[in-house]
Structure 1
């Protein structure tokens, strides 16, 4: 096992060492609460993920390979039937996607993980022998580690300038009078004077960094201009112990023009409500009864006792003669993306 600090051995140097010597193993990087794992096979990347960070299910939804409903079905199967199997591998085996689709999604996930890691100036790392369980790693020849590293470095330089995620833009000039950059027309199509840059990025299969850069470029070309007002995007607190579901909920609520605060700990719900003042609360019932206990605490909290709440449940709730259920809307899993957006919008008193 090799271990050390990123201050003493930068990530770029480690990648060159592993790729050039064709090593196999797992690189684990840790910084504060974040942890990333990169699986290498003979110097090529097989798979990469980060916690907290993007999830393969979220990426396949963004790439239009799977629907929001599909991923929930797969997560349910994974949890109850195959807890050790990669969600993407399960999607291939059940016929949701093809092998080439999985490899494309895995490469995009690795690109986004490595892009985030390149911003780390400190933290610890260790390189350990490969795991015996190959079910976590997709098939294929893997990803050229050095080529991926060069792609990340190019992207970091190319998309260095960007707008604020909260910025709103208005169309201002004639886009046919100038030459728009690649992807510019797609971004421009979502500019409506209401949506934030964050919400626009959620709709497009591009990284947030690239979308923010393209908006800055469109503004410099005089095609759009920043609005003098902020986006009207209410804050929704989402409580779920499932990182995969949390990322999906974040994506779909961003698409609906909402800001999202995530927590994986039920006991932190009241503290987050006090500190962030959300306009609505969404609670995923991972274990029967726990989510309802959160609602009871919220209803007894005084200032936030009337906060609109939506519970995501596995089956319709049933009260009892001895303990009535507190006031909350419910949505049975799995559900479609538009159903969630419509129900949360209704809680917020917004049209959808």
Structure 2
């Protein structure tokens, strides 16, 4: 339970400080023009990572804390996401109480503690109020259409961070349900020909999540594998809501790409293939350099090291690397990768290539951090990673 005098909403400066210190940590950076916030969460949930996700754009910075694949805290520099504003919107604080509390806030202090002192918030209710604030920040963050993200892999969070009992999957479903931007939905869902199916064990997990009527309806339409187009055509919901709900169920891993899907896929245009090859070569240059640095340190043990790197990859990514010898200086065979992608029927080759390379880079980073954390070798490899992400 939180105490009024000690725990409260983390001040907005915490998010800004995290960005300034993050350059010294092991992190991945990118643009939200390439992905969506829900899909970032999906990657971390699927691999049970512990990380700090910083999102910057629209004049604000949001910081989401993920512990072993579960969202446990969030802070924001957005003044409308402050504790007082969140409680005012939810009706837990009336306008008179809000204004009076703001009048008393003449020196920097914790707003939640002040609300307790004024009798507007009971000490036992402070924890739930902070949960509500963190949830509001996460829901709002999923609407980012542009901006930058940084994922810092870590084993611990700052002492100020309180672990909250948030429902990660429910937050994601509710957040996607609030998204009204078709550009985000199509970016997350992909092509209409994408073949989906219910994931193993999804019935029990869906029951535990207490799916609403719309979510249950869309989920039931996939008792047998079906394309996105088939589902939205059969649903009594609007095409927009059906597609959005599909994306939500896919993001929380209740749905998955159907195995053995025979989706008609046209090979990418020649110029696009050149672009993908260039992307692979850029990452391969980094993989080779990381391989060489680690080899200098541990010699032939590098082969066991590479095996551990691959263990960090998700089950969905591993088939794309089938037929490759990853001990070949850590390089990815582009021709084999492209053939694997085409054989899988994946609907967007460029995005899949980017995702595979990105996740493989994650694997190298995590294993380097595990084996050489705090050493000069780690710092050298961080510099390489930052270059490949620019």
Q: Same fold (TM over 0.5)?
A: no
Q: What band does the TM-score fall into relative to the shorter chain?
A: 0.3 to 0.5
Determine which structure has the larger helix proportion and give its number: 2
Structure-2-length-normalised TM-score: 0.32
